[in-house]
Chain A
Amino acid sequence: MYFGFENVSISYGKKKIVQDVTIDFPKGKTTTIIGANGCGKTSLLKTISRAVHPETGKVVFNNRPIGHYKPKALAKKIAYLPQIHESPSDISVRTLISYGRYPYRKFGKGLSEQDHEIIDKTICLTGLDHLQDRTLNNLSGGERQRAWIAMTICQEPEILILDEPITYLDIGYQLEVMELIRTLGAQLNITIIMVLHDINLAARYSHHILSIKDKQIYACGEPRHVITEDKLLDIFNIHSQIHEDHRNTCPFIIPEKK
């Protein structure tokens, strides 16, 4: 298994969140997890960042449970951006991005020449050149999210986990961030796993969609196989019209009243 969950169950106290989830994420592809509120999407992602420990089962990377890796070694392979991030507001974009080099730093040493090169490259790649000296509190929500994503890219990960990366953004920034994620995934050949609430954006920007219902994986596959009227009725309890977006070659939905 390259990367995925093996029989993962999560409980909070007596409350079962997900049960026996097994999935192998396709390498180099973007997979989006969808599901109703409280279905355990975020909890699943948190087992990857080790903020939540699975009750049973394990998260596997390169055929080894992630617990067998040293934290810094793992941080060089898997980057994770939580839904809510906090930071001192007075640090510059460049400083934030440089924190992505933390797993590579040697004890007591500053950033190396190579680190600075990678930071420069990342800034260029994420289009933050003109903003790099601005402090975070002087950025718009979309720019800030761009900076955070740049920080995770600076880790040079093989796998990037994003928990609701566009939740607090307006539609313009939502598209901008999704485009950025797609570009990065394609250019750097990163395996991206994210949680989204917007089904249309999920359908448009993902190679695969994974839906969770009743603590388990309900459906998994290409967007047009998962985003169907009867499946959406099951997952979200909504009626919907499904149309074809010819320009973006993906399905799009219009939700209807129950």
Chain B
Amino acid sequence: MKRNSNGSFELYKVSLIIVLFIASIVVTLVSICLGSMSFTMKESLSAVLVADDSAARLIIWHVRLPRILSGGLVGSCLALSGCILQGVMRNYLASPSTIGVTSGASFVGYITLVVFPSLFYLLPIGAIAGAFLTTLIIYAIAYEKGVSPVKMILSGMAIAAVFGAFNDIIRSFFPDRIANATGFLVGSLNGVAWKNFSLILPYALVGIVICFFLPSKMNVLMLGDEMANALGVRTERFRFFLIVISSLLAGAAISVSGLINFVGLIVPHIAKLLIGSDYKYLFPTSIALGYSLVVICDTLGRIILPVGEISVSIVISFVGAPFFLYLLRNKQTA
């Protein structure tokens, strides 16, 4: 039994996390019911549980559920990745998209698609490798007796621009080669099926499980390199390890959904506002919030138009950007 005197505060945080996870389940249940064809909760649940030839089974089990679960997983991965990067860089503007990791990941992802159009399963590996290589390049550029977070952000932005340009070139010259990778192009979850889900699940799970062993060390790292060193953390080595994990998470996410901005940036912010900066609580909060945000936005994108749909990245930009501006305006110190 912990004799922690602020036990009631801890209890609050733990209950908040439980509430957020229950909310994720509710969000999932509601969004399998909603769509161009709506079902009641009872119909939806029986479609998930009973394998028959009904239309409900076809739509919900084969289309909606894999899409929702993949989207949620993508959200959790991007949020965790952003959470780690913000800690590593000690900069609240860091996220997989702002430091160029996502554009590097999609660049290598594109190349994989153009060179090996039939080898679908190489995509996550390509994207993870791309994320990792990009981070390494940025890290190397910013390295000078340790990594300067400001340099890292700035070089990340430059790298993002370069890869973005390459991505546009590939898109203009090989439109047919990458056409089969639905979603990957525009940051959409349209057409995501069980095979996509099972493709990224192992990578995402490895990343998420590792995150549960990091909080105490992450917390110490937040005291600054000097202090963390003095407490026995090999800061450079640990930081490198964190970068590998965040690349793994971001790369896995991107290989399903393509470029989705803002999730990796705003979810860690919201999580921090809700639960404080202790990583023990921040990681699970980010997982739950990332999941719900992407699933809600994707569902909105599916139902908001009478015909057709808006891709999830567009919805998130519409929701996320104003929210981010609101944060900037109201939260002076992070």
How far, in Å, is B228 (CB) from chain A's closest CB?
Answer: 9
Would A85 and B232 be within 8 Å (CB), given that A91-B276, A95-B278, A133-B6 are in contact? Answer: no
Q: Cβ of B3 and Cβ of A116 under 8 Å apart? A: yes
**B333 to A, closest residue via Cβ:** A89
Q: Cβ of A99 and Cβ of B219 under 8 Å apart? A: yes
Cα distance A42–B224 in the bound complex, in angstroms: 16
Q: Does B27 contact A (CB under 8 A)?
A: no
Q: Cβ of B277 and Cβ of A90 under 8 Å apart? A: yes
Q: Cβ of A51 and Cβ of B231 under 8 Å apart? A: no
Cα distance A105–B217 in the bound complex, in angstroms: 10
Cα distance A82–B9 in the bound complex, in angstroms: 30
Q: Does A225 contact B (CB under 8 A)?
A: no
- The residues in B between 194 and 249 inclusive whose CB is less than 8 angstroms from any CB of A are 213, 216-217, 219-220, 222-227, 229-234
Q: Cβ of A99 and Cβ of B229 under 8 Å apart? A: no
Cα distance A90–B281 in the bound complex, in angstroms: 13
One of A1-9, A26-34, A72-80 contacting the partner: A72-80
Instruction: Count residues of B near A (Cβ-Cβ below 8 Å).
Output: 28
Q: Cβ of B216 and Cβ of A105 under 8 Å apart? A: yes
A94 contacts which chain B residues (CB < 8 A)? 4-6
Q: Does B329 contact A (CB under 8 A)?
A: no
Q: Cβ of A102 and Cβ of B5 under 8 Å apart? A: no
Cα distance A91–B6 in the bound complex, in angstroms: 11
Instruction: Count residues of A near B (Cβ-Cβ below 8 Å).
Output: 40
How far, in Å, is B146 (CB) from chain A's closest CB?
Answer: 9
Cα distance A133–B8 in the bound complex, in angstroms: 11
Q: Cβ of B232 and Cβ of A92 under 8 Å apart? A: no
Would A91 and B220 be within 8 Å (CB), given that A116-B3, A120-B3 are in contact? Answer: no
B227 contacts which chain A residues (CB < 8 A)? 80-82, 85
- Over the window 236-278 of chain B, the binary record of Cβ atoms lying under 8 Å from chain A Cβ atoms (1 yes, 0 no) is 0000000000000000000000000000000000000000111
B3 contacts which chain A residues (CB < 8 A)? 116, 120
Q: Cβ of A87 and Cβ of B230 under 8 Å apart? A: no
Cα distance A105–B231 in the bound complex, in angstroms: 11
Q: Does B2 contact A (CB under 8 A)?
A: yes
Cα distance A84–B276 in the bound complex, in angstroms: 22
Q: Cβ of A80 and Cβ of B4 under 8 Å apart? A: no
B225 contacts which chain A residues (CB < 8 A)? 51
- Over the window 278-300 of chain B, the binary record of Cβ atoms lying under 8 Å from chain A Cβ atoms (1 yes, 0 no) is 10000000000000000000000
Q: Cβ of A92 and Cβ of B6 under 8 Å apart? A: yes
Q: Does A108 contact B (CB under 8 A)?
A: yes
Cα distance A102–B234 in the bound complex, in angstroms: 13
Cα distance A89–B222 in the bound complex, in angstroms: 11
- Over the window 1-30 of chain B, the binary record of Cβ atoms lying under 8 Å from chain A Cβ atoms (1 yes, 0 no) is 011111001000000000000000000000
Q: Cβ of A108 and Cβ of B213 under 8 Å apart? A: yes
Q: Cβ of B5 and Cβ of A49 under 8 Å apart? A: no
**B214 to A, closest residue via Cβ:** A108
Would A102 and B231 be within 8 Å (CB), given that A91-B277, A95-B278 are in contact? Answer: yes
**A129 to B, closest residue via Cβ:** B5
**B2 to A, closest residue via Cβ:** A116
Instruction: Name A82's contact: one of B222, B224, B234, B276 (CB within 8 Å).
Output: B224
A103 contacts which chain B residues (CB < 8 A)? 231-232
**B226 to A, closest residue via Cβ:** A82
A100 contacts which chain B residues (CB < 8 A)? 231
- The residues in A between 199 and 247 inclusive whose CB is less than 8 angstroms from any CB of B are none
Q: Cβ of B216 and Cβ of A102 under 8 Å apart? A: yes
Q: Cβ of A75 and Cβ of B231 under 8 Å apart? A: yes
B223 contacts which chain A residues (CB < 8 A)? 85-87, 99
Would A107 and B333 be within 8 Å (CB), given that A94-B4, A94-B6 are in contact? Answer: no
Q: Cβ of B216 and Cβ of A49 under 8 Å apart? A: no
Cα distance A108–B232 in the bound complex, in angstroms: 16
A116 contacts which chain B residues (CB < 8 A)? 2-4
How far, in Å, is A161 (CB) from chain B's closest CB?
Answer: 8
Would A88 and B5 be within 8 Å (CB), given that A49-B229, A99-B231, A102-B233 are in contact? Answer: no
Q: Which of B2, B90, B230 has the most CB atoms of chain A within a 10 A radius of its CB?
A: B230
Instruction: Name B220's contact: one of A90, A92, A99 (CB within 8 Å).
Output: A99
Q: Does A71 contact B (CB under 8 A)?
A: yes
Instruction: Name B276's contact: one of A73, A90, A133 (CB within 8 Å).
Output: A90
Instruction: Name B232's contact: one of A72, A81, A84, A95 (CB within 8 Å).
Output: A72
Q: Does A132 contact B (CB under 8 A)?
A: yes
How far, in Å, is A129 (CB) from chain B's closest CB?
Answer: 9
B219 contacts which chain A residues (CB < 8 A)? 99
How far, in Å, is B175 (CB) from chain A's closest CB?
Answer: 47
A50 contacts which chain B residues (CB < 8 A)? 229
Given A70-B232, A155-B231, 12 extra CB contacts under 8 A: A71-B232, A72-B232, A75-B230, A82-B224, A86-B223, A92-B6, A99-B219, A102-B216, A102-B220, A103-B231, A116-B4, A133-B6
